[in-house]
Amino acid sequence: MAGKIRKEDLSPDDKEDLYLQDRRKKDMAKYIGDNIHKYRTTQNLTREQLAEKSNLTASHIYQLEIGNSVPSLITAIDICNSLNISISQLTENLLFEDINKFIDAISKDFNKLSDKEKKAIIHLIGDLSND
């Protein structure tokens, strides 16, 4: 039988690696879920309201908030856009802390700008990155 390896056929080291990967995924799911809940409740949104804003179901939001699943990147972006937060705010300590602080500082200042100023900054960044 080719294909899938049964768990009982794995070496003790492989079993340990598999356990650690699973534990890490569960910890991340719980952490992200807690943050979704925190930002949703801070903005006085119900699960149904967030679901409607992010084109998800309230049940899916619930599963994410209790850490039963890890959001896909698209789902995370939809939730962040609906809550008007950045991915770095959603993932906070899961990313390198210095990067988060930098992104958050820029994001807060950027959001204070007018649309015209935002376009100018984006254009400037584009020009600088092409050099």
Given a cut of 90, whether residue 84 has pLDDT beyond it is: yes
Given a cut of 90, whether residue 1 has pLDDT beyond it is: no
Q: Do 110 and 68 reside in the same domain of the chain?
A: no
Task: Tokens 């992010």: give the residue.
Answer: 54
pLDDT (average), residues 83-94: 86
Given a cut of 80, whether residue 45 has pLDDT beyond it is: yes
Establish if 107 belongs to a structural domain.
Answer: yes
Q: Do 73 and 101 reside in the same domain of the chain?
A: no
- CATH number (domain holding residue 47): 1.10.260.40
Q: Do 87 and 111 reside in the same domain of the chain?
A: no
pLDDT (average), residues 36-43: 97
57: left (phi over 0), alpha (psi -120 to 50) or beta: beta
Q: Do 71 and 90 reside in the same domain of the chain?
A: yes
As a whole number of Å, the end-to-end CA separation of the chain is: 55
114 Cβ neighbours under 8 A, 6+ residues apart: none
Establish if 3 belongs to a structural domain.
Answer: no
pLDDT (average), residues 32-47: 97
Report residue 117 as tokens.
């100023």
Q: How many angstroms separate the CA atoms of 71 and 91, rounded? A: 11
Q: Do 100 and 90 reside in the same domain of the chain?
A: no
Per this entry, what is the length of the chain? 131
List the domain range (segments joined by +) for residue 32.
10-94
Establish if 131 belongs to a structural domain.
Answer: yes
Total-model pTM: 0.65
